[in-house]
Chains A and B, each alone.
Chain A
Amino acid sequence: GEDVEQSLFLSVREGDSSVINCTYTDSSSTYLYWYKQEPGAGLQLLTYIFSNMDMKQDQRLTVLLNKKDKHLSLRIADTQTGDSAIYFCAESWEGGQNFVFGPGTRLSVLP
């Protein structure tokens, strides 16, 4: 079955890099996503990666995909207090929009 797992909490100092990890079980998933949710808000798409890619970089964000280990990570460089939020990893399949989300990782950025 489909299952996405994430560690629940991460705390970093402002200016440091944050690495948020995710593991998934369905090797047939086609797309893997990172969404950000701030308190009381909906989900904001940060970035996504196709399953045939290993890495994607977008400004301060770097996504790494290890398909063999079914492991996805999001690295945020130079983490700022505005990055404090919950980060969700999600997977979906070709032609579908029925995302399966992980439980979310709460990132706290300390001054």
Chain B
Amino acid sequence: DAGVTQSPTHLIKTRGQQVTLRCSPKSGHDTVSWYQQALGQGPQFIFQYYEEEERQRGNFPDRFSGHQFPNYSSELNVNALLLGDSALYLCASSLDRNTEAFFGQGTRLTVV
């Protein structure tokens, strides 16, 4: 079992550009959540996907959107990138309403 995998591991984008990050959940997991971790801070919840629908959302602007595919993998899209979007983006997968969530290694996004 490969666990939660995220791609790419590192990414550099220019202000105003758009970015797509990808996540494959742990085998058997159907729920994917995305978090943003700025340098020196704890992760902040962005949103959660279950059954291809956004089920919960944190306090993030509409520039942050996502998608979940029938195979439970997920994408996080960020439009009109700002310098402040530079962070480690973490994906977590779980079995619906299960207490344990497993995190991927994250994608380090740098906006210049």
- B43 adjacent to A99 (CB under 8 Å): yes
A10 within 8 A of partner (CB):
no
Is B45 in contact with A42, judged by CB distance below 8 angstroms?
Answer: no
Find residues 17-52 in chain B having any chain A CB closer than 8 Å to their own CB.
Answer: 31, 33, 35, 40-45, 48
B103–A97 contact, CB under 8 A?
no
Contact status of A98 and B104, CB under 8 A, knowing A31-B99, A42-B90, A104-B42: no
Number of interface residues of B (CB under 8 A): 25
Q: How far is the CA of A44 from the CA of B92 in the complex (A)?
A: 11
> Within A54-111, which residues are at the interface with B (CB < 8 Å)?
88, 90, 92, 95-104
Q: A42-B106, A45-B102 are in contact. Are A98 and B58 (CB under 8 A)?
A: yes
Q: Does B94 contact A (CB under 8 A)?
A: yes
In the complex, the answer to whether A42 meets B100 with C-beta atoms within 8 Å is: no
Q: Are B43 and A95 in contact, with the CB atoms below 8 A?
A: no
B101 at the interface (CB under 8 A from A): yes
| Residues on A with beta carbons closer than 8 Å to the beta carbon of B90 | 42-43
Given B43, B100, B103, which contacts A48 in the complex, CB threshold below 8 Å?
B100
Q: Is there contact, CB below 8 Å, between B103 and A44?
A: yes
Does B77 sit at the interface, judged by CB under 8 A? no
Q: Which of B42, B105, B106 has the most CB of A within 10 A?
A: B42
Give chain A nearest CB distance to B37 CB in angstroms: 8
Known: A43-B90, A88-B42. A95 touches B100 (CB 8 A): no
Chain B minimum-CB-distance residue to A100: B45
B-binding residues in A (CB < 8 A): 4, 31, 35, 41-45, 48, 88, 90, 92, 95-104
Q: List 12 A-B contacts (CB under 8 A).
A: A31-B99, A43-B92, A43-B103, A90-B42, A95-B97, A97-B33, A98-B33, A98-B45, A98-B48, A99-B43, A101-B43, A101-B44
- Residues of B participating in the A interface, judged by any CB pair closer than 8 Å: 4, 31, 33, 35, 40-45, 48, 56, 58, 90, 92, 94, 97, 99-106
